């Protein structure tokens, strides 16, 4: 049986292009599952993928977001 891939919060931050503190916030808030190993966190690839799926901006198969329209000019 193979061991799961484990990532540090720093590695997760690089992968998803956020600050390291954001990953620590996700972990402490329970948004991202992780394992405490002593005083450090480890995140399995499965937990990271589940987090990404749950928190993606759009679901698979949904149309892309329409571009935002500029605000209407005020009528004078």
pLDDT digit string, tens, across residues 20-43: 999 999 999 999 999 998 999 999
**Would you say the C-alpha torsion 37, 40, 6, 60 has a positive or negative sign?**
positive
Q: What is the mean pLDDT of the chain?
A: 84
Region 51-60: mean pLDDT is: 78
Domain that holds residue 14: 6-54
- pLDDT reported for residue 32: 97
Whether 73 maps to a domain, the answer reads no
Q: What is the DSSP code string of 10-51?
A: HHHHHHHT--HHHHHHHHHTTSS--EEETTEEEEEHHHHHHH
Contact 16, 47 (CB under 8 A): no
Whether 76 maps to a domain, the answer reads no
Whether 71 maps to a domain, the answer reads no
Chain center to CA of 58: 13
In total, how many domains does the chain have? Answer: 1
Whether 27 maps to a domain, the answer reads yes
- pLDDT reported for residue 70: 59
**Would you say the C-alpha torsion 49, 52, 53, 59 has a positive or negative sign?**
negative
Look at 21 and 59; give whichever has higher pLDDT: 21
Check pLDDT > 90 for residue 64: no
């Amino acid at each position: 049986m193979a061991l799961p891939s484990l990532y540090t919060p720093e590695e997760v931050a690089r992968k998803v292009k956020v600050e390291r503190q954001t990953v620590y916030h996700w972990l402490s808030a329970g948004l991202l599952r992780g394992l405490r190993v002593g005083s450090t966190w480890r995140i399995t690839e499965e937990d990271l993928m589940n987090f990404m799926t749950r928190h993606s901006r759009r679901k698979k198969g949904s149309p892309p977001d329409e571009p935002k329209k500029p605000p209407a000019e005020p009528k004078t």
